[in-house]
Chains A and B, each alone.
Chain A
Amino acid sequence: MAEPAWLLAKRSATAALLSITLTDIVGNIARTHGDSMQPTLQPGEKNLLGFLKGDIVFFEKISAAAYKYHRGDVVVLRSPSDPNQWMIKRLIAMQGDWINVPGSYEILQIPKGRCWVEGDGGNISLDSRTFGALPLGLVQGRVTHKIWPPHRFGRVERVFPKGRVMLDDEV
């Protein structure tokens, strides 16, 4: 009788449905690739051993649904130049803020609905310094925890970028 096999298939289908829904609504994990968020997040290498070295982070999407982000949050966002690529950056400024563009004397105001993101790792980062202010709609979630490797497990803190932005309002 094929009863147990049928039951197993049904259970796994339910589990798949539930996990897809939860990863869509609650949060998901992402892996760090580049150097751009050092020293907050460490990158891994491409080979199998390096796969285990790179930081894996958990990002939550509940605040993403309402776009309630704060300056200094580490966020996951889709790359503006490649829709399949995701980036992990720190949110520096929100719409309406005035920001001093690094490496220049230019001061610009972030347009409506956009945000300014930068990597923590100095100049080695493909971020708003290249792309300019990015639409907030690209942001997928807020990084809350490092979950891998185990010895680096911990919260990812919000670090307010002091002296970088002139605030428009308290968001």
Chain B
Amino acid sequence: MSQWFPKLKPLGREVWERSVLLTQFLCCIHIIKEHVVEIHQVMGPSMLPTFSAVGDVLLVERLSTKFQRIKQGDVVMALSPENPRLIVCKRVLGLEGENLVVMPTHGSGRVQHIKVPKGHVWLQGDNLSNSTDSRHYGPVPYGLLRGKVFLRVWPPGGWTRF
């Protein structure tokens, strides 16, 4: 009898195998995105000479933040301390324990002398006159950093390593 229904058993098996394959695929995507490398589009004027305001696409690697290899001058993505749903792109200007002299944002401000507390970093946008950053919300806990920007892939031709 079974030769008349040669496909019946393999069909259920095929569905199972396909769903296993799909699960594996989705898990791989998740793990790569969450732990290795992520694609981000940055909007807004805060990093202006480095990135344009209209939405450059960046590759962000998640390993340096995990293993704490962030250095001064790295461009990083971080959760905003003011809104955890927002991811911002800034440059690390100071690591923990370092002394910084921060210039005033607008004409009226004073020059500040700051020591970055333990476990924190000092983030600033490259566009000093139009950036909401550590000058506004203070030093940012290291735990909010998500990854280090290492390559710009869009606009084309403008591939830049960081």
Contact = CB atoms under 8 A, between A and B. Distances in A.
Interface of A: 14, 17-18, 20-21, 24-25, 67, 78-84, 111-114, 134-139
Nearest to B80: A113
B20 interface: yes
Contacts of A113: 80-84
B27 interface: yes
Given A78-B143, A113-B80, 4 more contacts: A80-B120, A83-B143, A111-B82, A135-B82
A81 B119 contact: yes
B15 interface: no
Of B79, B117, B140, B141, which is in contact with the most chain A CB atoms at under 10 Å from its CB? B141
Q: Is the interface of A mostly helix, strand, loop or mixed?
A: mixed
Interface of B: 20, 23-24, 26-28, 30-31, 34-35, 68, 79-85, 117-120, 137, 140-144
B119 A135 contact: no
22 contacts: A14-B24, A17-B27, A17-B31, A21-B26, A21-B27, A21-B30, A21-B31, A67-B84, A78-B141, A78-B143, A81-B119, A84-B68, A111-B137, A113-B82, A114-B82, A134-B141, A135-B82, A135-B141, A137-B84, A137-B144, A138-B141, A138-B143
Sorted nearest first, the 3 A-B pairs with minimum C-beta distance are A78-B143, A137-B79, A137-B84
Nearest to A17: B27
A136 B119 contact: no
B31 A136 contact: no
Contact of B34 (A24, A82, A111, A139): A24
Nearest to A82: B119
A21 B117 CA distance: 33
A139 B144 CA distance: 10
Contacts of B137: 111
Contacts of A80: 119-120, 141, 143
B141 A136 contact: no
A80 B96 CA distance: 11
A139 B137 CA distance: 18
Residue among A83, A113, A136 with the most chain B CB within 10 A? Answer: A83
Given A14-B20, A67-B85, A79-B119, A20 B79 contact: no
